[in-house]
Amino acid sequence: MIAVTGATGFVGRRVVSDLTGRGHAVIGLVRGAPGPDDRVVGEIGAGTEWTRALEGVEVVVHCAARAHVMQERSSDPLSLYRAVNVEGTRRLAAQAAHCGVKRLVYLSSVKAAGERSAPGRPLRVSDPPAPEDAYGVSKLEAESALREVGAATGLETVIVRPPLVYGPGVKGNFLRLLDAIARGWPLPLGALENRRSAVSLANLADFVGVCVGSPAAAGKTFFVSDDEDLSTECLARGIGAALGRPARLLPVPATVLSMLAKMAGKTAEVERLVGTLQVDLTDACGLLAWSPPYTVEQGLRETAAWFRSLR
């Protein structure tokens, strides 16, 4: 049996669906309002009681987390992230090992590794991590906590670091970009030559399914992404094509966008549009013999179909 934390969330729902489609018996571990195949664990933290919910479970996929907050208002966000993402994960791993769970697959983030990569040189798992915000720090510390529990108990741990995840239900900047292109708004993205990795929900869930069962995944950390890294300009045009509404892009140089962002105090937000952040799939493809089964075009079409259904 496989247990999925955050089973009602953006990623968790797709992971549950994919694992069920592979023939696994799957239960969701949720905060409240359980479905027929869910078990309630409440809020996640250092005191969460997981034992009863883990009865009969062989593998845990840990999707639940305090997610990255774009407009953080807390005066001490790191403590909030640590309470859920670090101590909550440590508690889950320790109790999972105690309950006889064999493997824990952890959905971390590219932010645990860093926010950018050099042109032509994607981030590798072996690179020294350089998180730049509280969320990234908490994800990296959670990875370390998992390795410590695994070394002490024999629990197999697998760490997955996705970049931007998109698909039905996406929120944040990706949803805003969808909406802007659908409305025909002109966007200053027509001169960007950066490259950014992203992963569709379909490809991420497929990769998690491989990590659940592959002996070669035990103890390893993996980046995962789609089969193609796009510039922000190409991504916008791909979204437009999927929506059937060509993107209206103005050729504003990245240097100008960065300068305007600095003046407006929006440097971090604009960096995600103009900067390069690529990840290396060598370990995922080599050790696990995996390749993304869905193209970027397929992922964007699925996302666009969901978006159109909302309108």
Marked catalytic residue, from 81, 135, 166, 294 = 135
Nearest to 166 by CA among 44, 307, 285: 307
Nearest to 233 by CA among 285, 265, 195: 195
Q: Are 82 and 141 in contact (CB under 8 A)?
A: yes
Does 294 qualify as catalytic in the annotation? no
Q: Which residues contact 100 (CB under 8 A, 6 or more apart)?
A: none
Interaxial angle between packed helices 172-182 and 232-243, expressed in degrees from 0 to 180 and rounded to the nearest 10: 60
Q: Are 86 and 127 in contact (CB under 8 A)?
A: no
Q: Are 3 and 29 in contact (CB under 8 A)?
A: yes
Q: What is the CA radius of gyration of the chain?
A: 19
Q: Which residues contact 26 (CB under 8 A, 6 or more apart)?
A: 1, 2, 3, 4, 16, 19, 20, 37
Q: Are 78 and 138 in contact (CB under 8 A)?
A: yes
Q: Are 30 and 4 in contact (CB under 8 A)?
A: no
Catalytic residues: 135
